[in-house]
Structure formats: structure tokens, C-alpha cells
Amino acid sequence: CLRRVDTFLHRGIGTKVVAAQTEAAVKHDSVEKNDGRKSLYAVQAERQEQAERSVLISCYSRIKHNMFLKYLSRHGDIKKHFFYENNGVYAVVEFARQESVASLLEGASIPRVSQESVVPFKSRLLSLRNLDSGESSNRPSSQRAQPQTAPTINDVMQRLSKQESIDQQITQLTEAYQLTEENISLRYLVCSLLKDVAAGYFPECTIKPFGSSVNGFGKLGCDLDMFLDLDGISGQNMKMPTPGLCLEYQLKMGNSERATTQNILSVIGECVEHFAPGCVGLHKILNARCPLVRFAHQPSGFQCDLTANNRVAMKSTELLYLYGELDPRVRLLVFTVRCWARTHGVTSSIPGAWITNFSLTVMVLFFLQKRSPPIIPTLDELRDLAGPADKSVIEGNDCTFVSDFGNIPLHGNTATPGQLLREFFDFYASFPFNKMSICIRKGTEQNKPEVAPLHIQNPFETSLNVSKNVNAAQLQRFTALCQESAWLSCQSQTMMPKSKRKMIESDEFTSRNISRTFWGVSCGLIWILFEHFIREGWQEKFQERSVWSNICGHLLAHIHPFRKLIRIS
């Protein structure tokens, strides 16, 4: 029962790269071994191939849906298509055969412009014109174009308030925010379009999505992390030389791997900025620990981070995906906690001292490892289950873990997602962050090796702290919110009949609610005062305005029937 993965949760992505095997063999093998579930490697190969056969078309004409498809199918059978809206209507069209794309591009023309000069770089991003009837920005009439952005919080609240239980709300929330099939296809297509730019220099390269676009935890609107994979060219998967004569390429030598990565990203970044249509606002962030170029891809609306030589991040993506596939409650809890964190400003889209989604995900995984019995295994356990083909050492880091889902024993913990959410808040409300580090490799707290406020060990580069950026104030906010949410969920547990327990309420203004609220507010006030005075040292802090404004904020948040409270936890 615990191994069942609900249909909606099932994303086909998974785990391993084996240099010695061919792509097809790995693909077949990994599907077979994983009880029909595909590995990340298998899905990436499949999706990349689909993306190569696809084109992205801006539809400015009044042309009808049928007419549009009929026009395109002159070049060959169309396997899949969808329309989406993003400041105009776009169509993603996947042909059944690669030759159709070549034929379509052959028939496309260069636009005539009078004032500006065109950069003659032809790509698979096209515009549809109707020269007979003039141009119009109307959508193709017979098909609804889907937005590719996350639903608004109000929409999600509406959906959640119709649900009967917290478990149903958690499921609904995940369904509302998770990446759609179309959005994933679009992400692969954008990678494929960018690969065409990089292929000018490195014809055998690939650009693969990693991070939340493919690890199963992506929310609509999340950034597109891309990895320029040059391993096929750069000798990472080198053939053993045979005795006798042999020819070698003469290659330019860089000072270091990092310098080479920086140079490649810099040049590819320039090409993207100057040649690739639709790519704007490029920033080179080459001195970061992991050098990257960041830009916006306007037709898809994705913010893109292009990295190179980032194989460890690819491994952590595979690991997160594996955990998400092992038990449906992993994804449910990650989505809910991420949403909770975003709603309360614990995470942010702006880089800073905030906890990141990746850190938060690792915290959820650690919490699930600490259940009794554990819901997911530790990384060391996954390593011990690995077969010889799973062995992977990247830059001296042991990245080995089992890729065969069927080989991973689960322990039959039957807690519901709602129970787990409450336990999550309890767990981190009292976690000894000052002394201990979170470590999913061991699945137990470790002594903190450095003085950072929050220490989360990177699962593969174990000397690194994933949450190095987090400052003491942000960690304190997180802990305080966990305490508050634990308290609120405890209140809803004891005050509500079982059938009415939800994580979000759209309250009716009833006398019963008023009396509950009165007691709730009183307890809340005592609790908040207690918490502040204990934590802040009350003699000095008593005078400070920030304490009082904080308390007022908490109080307002508790007087919910007066404000039609719609609140998570």
C-alpha cells in the first residue's frame, strides 16, 4: 500500500547515469527495475527526444485551431500540441518525426523589417502570420489557452475550503501547484532551444533541466535550472585507448576546471543574449560557488539559470526525485510545507537570508526519516543498497545510491499527511538548531561543525552547508511560525469535531466561534508574551516597540472571525 503512487503524483523521472551502458539500454533497464516507474535518466532521454521534435510558435493571427493544425501537418504528423497564454498565445507542437521540423523550418521565412537589422539566427521559435487578413493578437478560437503560472492564493483557498478534511486539502494543494504535463514539456523545449545555441560551439552537448523542474517538487512558475552537459565531449565518459597508433584532439587548456566553466558560460551567455530570440536580461554570475548565467525566456515566462559542470546538483535532483517516488506523502508534505513557508514569507523569490525551497525540502526529508518507524530511508541506507552500476563518485564526493526503487524496504508507517504536517511543526518548533545540524545522509542530528545559525549538511558535498545564507533572524522567524502553527493545529484538533478538521477555514461568524476565539486569543496572548519574554530577555526588550508591534501582529492574526480568516494551519 505504501508503495502505491497515486496517478497524479506519478511523474516519470528518476535516478541514474551509467556511462558504460547505452541510453536505450539504461532506459529499458530502469523502467523494468522500477516496477514500471521510469528513472530520471529514462524520462530525461525521452523528454529530450520529444523536445527535439517540437517547435514553439507565437500565434498572432486570427487563424482557427483546425486551420493552424492543418497548415502545420503539411510537414508531417503532429503527435501532440497545446496552446498556452503568456502575453499572447503560443503553441507547442510536437511532430511525430524529426524530418517534419526540418521541413517546417525550410518553409519558414525571415521577417522583413524596415528600420532594424535582424540577427540571422534561425531557431525553432517561430511566429505565425496571416498575410491575407492582417495580423491580430486573437487566440486560436477553438481551443482554450492555458496559463503557465500558479493559481492565485485566493483560487487555491477557494478550492481548499470546499474539501472535507486536512488530508484532502493537502492533496488539492499539491494538485493545484504542481507542474502540469504541458509545463514540463515546455521546460524541456526551452532547454532544447537553448541547446541549439550552445551546439554552435559544442555540437554534441545537451542542456538538461535539473532542480525543481524535474525533481517532482516543482511549483508552477518555479525557475528553470539548466545544466549544460559537456561530459559526452570532454572525456568524462572516455573510451580506454587501444594499443597502437591513435589520434587525439588538440584542445585548448584552461587554468582550472572552474575557469574553463566560467569561460564557456560567459561565451554561451553572450550568444544567448545576442542571438537567441526571446532571451532577455542576461546576468553573468560567474563568481558564485556554482557559476551561472541568468536570463528570462520571454515566450515561456521562465526565469532561467544556466550552469555547466554541475553534476553534483544533478545527483541531488535524482535523490530528491527518488524520495518523492518512494512514498506519495513525501511530495504532499513538501508541497504543503513549501506553500506554508511562502505564505508566511519564510521563503522568497528574491535571493537573501531566507530559507530556500531546497533547504526546506531537505528539512522535510530529515523529518520523515526521523519518524518512528521511518517513512523514508537515510542516504547511507540507500548507498548500502546500491549495486555496482549505481557507483558514482563526482569530484571526490561519494554520490552512490540505489536506483532500483523495488529494492528499497519501507517500514509501514501509516501516518496521514495531516498528522505528519502537525508533527512537522512540532518537530521544528523545538529542534535544537543552536547545537545540531540536519543530516539526511545519517538520518540523525549531528553536532554542528560551524557556527552558522542553521546547518543543513549537503547530502553529497558533506563539508558544505546548504543553508549557509540563512541568518539568525530568519531562523527565529521559522521556529516561531512552527510554534504558532503547531499551537494552532493543536487547537483545531481539540476544538473541532473530527469531520471538520481542516488546515484552512473560511469561518462563519457564529457565537460559538466568538467564544472559541476569545479563549484562543487569550491563550495566544499568554503564549506569545511568554515566548517573547523567555526568548528575548524581558528586561531590555520590554521597552522595544518591535516586541509590541510583533505581538499586535500575532493578535490580529488570531482574531479571525472578524477578518474572515483564511489561514494556513
Residues that bind Mg ion (CB under 5 A): 211-212, 223, 225
| Grid cell locating 397 | 564526493
Instruction: Considering the complex, state which of residue 221 and residue 278 has its C-beta at the smaller distance from ligand CTP.
Output: 221
Find the shortest distance in angstroms from Cβ 212 to Mg ion: 5
437 contacts ligand CTP (rule: CB under 6 A): no
Q: In the range 443-462, which residues lie near ligand CTP by CB under 6 A?
A: 458
Angle (CA) 551 556 562, round 5°: 160
Q: Which residues contact 137 (CB under 8 A, 6 or more apart)?
A: 60, 88, 89
323 lies in the binding site for ligand CTP (CB under 6 A): no
Closest approach of Cβ 338 to Mg ion, in Å?
A: 12
Nearest distance from residue 211's CB to Mg ion, in Å? Answer: 4
Give me the sign of the Cα torsion angle 158, 160, 164, 168: positive
Provide the minimum distance between the beta carbon of 458 and ligand CTP in the complex, in angstroms, as a whole number. 6
Which of residues 466, 481, 482, 503 is near ligand CTP by CB under 6 A?
Answer: 466
Phi, psi torsion values for 191, nearest 5 degrees: -60, -40
Quick one: which of 156, 158, 149, 161 has its CA closest to 173?
Answer: 156
Q: Does 212 bind ligand CTP (CB under 6 A)?
A: yes
CA 326 to CA 405: how far, in whole Å? 7
Binding ligand CTP (rule: CB under 6 A), the pick from 46, 85, 175, 223 is 223
Kindly tell me which of 179 and 482 has the beta carbon lying closer to ligand CTP.
179
**302 scored as a contact of ligand CTP (CB under 6 A):** no
Rg (CA), the chain: 26
Q: Which residues of 454-489 are buried (b: 16+ CB within 10 A; e: fewer)?
A: bbbbbbbbeeebbbebbeeebbebbbbbbbbbbbbb
Q: How far is CA 46 from the centre of its chain?
A: 20
Amino acid at 58: S
The nearer residue to ligand CTP, 55 or 334, going by C-beta atoms, is: 334
Q: Which residue has the cell 500575532?
A: 554
The residues, any chain, with a CB within 8 Å of residue 311's CB and separated by 6 or more, are 227, 231, 394, 395
Q: Which does 356 bind (CB under 5 to 8 A by kind): ligand CTP, Mg ion, none?
A: ligand CTP
Q: Of residues 10-69, which lie at the interface with ligand CTP (CB under 6 A)?
A: none
The one of ligand CTP, Mg ion, none whose footprint includes residue 358, by CB under 5 to 8 A per kind, is ligand CTP
Q: Among residues 317, 397, 403, 474, which is the contact residue for ligand CTP, using CB under 6 A?
A: 317
Edge-to-edge strands, sheet with 125-128 = 125-128, 54-59, 89-95, 78-85, 146-147
| Interface characters, 341-370, with ligand CTP (x: CB under 6 A) | ---------------xxx------------
Residue range at the interface with ligand CTP (CB under 6 A); choices 17-25, 237-245, 311-319, 484-492: 311-319
Q: Which is nearer to Mg ion, 318 or 404 (CB)?
A: 318
In the complex, which residues of this chain contact ligand CTP (CB under 6 A)? 210-212, 215, 218, 222-223, 225, 313, 316-317, 356-358, 458, 466
